[in-house]
Structure 1
């Protein structure tokens, strides 16, 4: 049974159908990249899956049970991280991560034992006790990634992580963080507009556009260069080698 599932999911904004009759399933331990041009519905899809947005038809299921947006126990099993990130005002990097841990895992939960290791990997040791509000955009996003790690929900829904202003060190740490989560059987779904990054960092590729799903294929066993070209055609990107 899938950990997370969209069944006949539909979402309108006014008269525009952004998503319609979308069927998708996500498994524990899977890393899924969702691609699409601007306005294709990538963020809307993640918002619906997280229960942050309502939908006009169909349903979202967790472990086969219909997602009820009012049920805190279901909402605590997932986290939606928007492209600009979010944090608790005034909290320093460490306290911010601890608040996320308490909200998602319970007031008595202790932060993971490897928090210092991830502070180092993310390049946040020097700002561990600095207010998140004072950090640069890339540092703020990395601070929220640390908080996501400390909350450690079953489902990670991450919007445009590769466009969040992180430096190369942060992007590599993000990949390591996500791979480690996948080994713990967490399901990670993230959006991006970059086919090359998606193909090399996902178990499966989903392309959203025109209200539906254009592509839903695993990357394992595929010719990655050909898959990148296929994604380029789906997204209307000119192949510079053609």
Structure 2
């Protein structure tokens, strides 16, 4: 999916959460959205996911104007907030089947991969557990199985590295996101960890006070980090 943002703006009370954001996101890539607290990262993801509507500006998916009412476009994306939204009264297995049904995919076509992922994360033994009984980290691991069942063209993930998952879960997330991108999907995730973003992304987008102050390849951001002792702080400030 090719994503274009044109003068995208969102205001809450007297605060510009996003202010005239313009961005051209290449398909088949992993994008890390960095920023200080209150920079507008979660707002950007919520707009891309149709959770919020912009006050001004346009979002285009493959040249088509996106809005919350365009269900055919919304079915091409999967939005994961910092605490995944699942059917809490249903089992892990039922959630996987439900997400696949909602997105029109077949669990049977991905059975081998899903089984391997669930075994890797330790969730295979918890398939019959209700989602409401899971810890936050387990909930994330369960939702990753839902994402693998859906294989969205656009996966929006808010703060996956602050999810409470253990290192095994984090490794599975990296491998899943990388595989999806290699197969044509676009992954956009938010974080405050500069070195992590540079290590796990194709491009880095830095927001500051609702505006984009830096858009670079991950290789360039690594150079910026190494350039001075304040390299990571300079990246967050958009200073080259």
TM-score, length-scaled by structure 2: 0.91
Q: In the alignment, does 2:50 pair up with 1:51?
A: yes
Distance 1:227 1:149 in 2: 38
Q: Cα offset for 1:234? A: 4.0
Counterpart of 1:68 in 2: which secondary structure? coil
Where does residue 223 of structure 1 map in the other structure? 223
Q: Cα offset for 1:90? A: 1.7
Where does residue 172 of structure 2 map in the other structure? 173
Unaligned runs of 5+ residues in structure 2 are: none
Whether the 8 Å contact between 1:98 and 1:111 is mirrored in structure 2 is no
Q: In the alignment, does 2:113 pair up with 1:112?
A: no
Counterpart of 2:110 in 1: which secondary structure? coil
Alignment of 1:116-135 (within 5 A): 116-135=115-134
Residue 123 to residue 25, structure 1, CA distance change in 2 (3 Å)? farther
Where does residue 233 of structure 2 map in the other structure? 232
Aligned residues: 234
Where does residue 79 of structure 1 map in the other structure? 78
Whether the 8 Å contact between 1:101 and 1:111 is mirrored in structure 2 is no
Residue 169 to residue 30, structure 1, CA distance change in 2 (3 Å)? same
Where does residue 70 of structure 1 map in the other structure? 69
222-231 or 138-147, larger mean C-alpha shift: 222-231
Where does residue 213 of structure 2 map in the other structure? 214
Whether the 8 Å contact between 1:10 and 1:17 is mirrored in structure 2 is yes
Cα deviation, 1:8-35, whole Å, max 9, x if unaligned, reads: 1000001211111101122221000001
Where does residue 203 of structure 2 map in the other structure? 204
Distance 2:231 2:24 in 1: 22
The alignment's C-alpha RMSD in Å is: 1.8
TM-score, length-scaled by structure 1: 0.91
Whether the 8 Å contact between 1:199 and 1:224 is mirrored in structure 2 is no
Whether the 8 Å contact between 2:107 and 2:149 is mirrored in structure 1 is no
Q: Cα offset for 1:230? A: 3.4
Distance 1:231 1:189 in 2: 20
Unaligned runs of 5+ residues in structure 1 are: 237-242
Decide which structure has greater helix share: 2
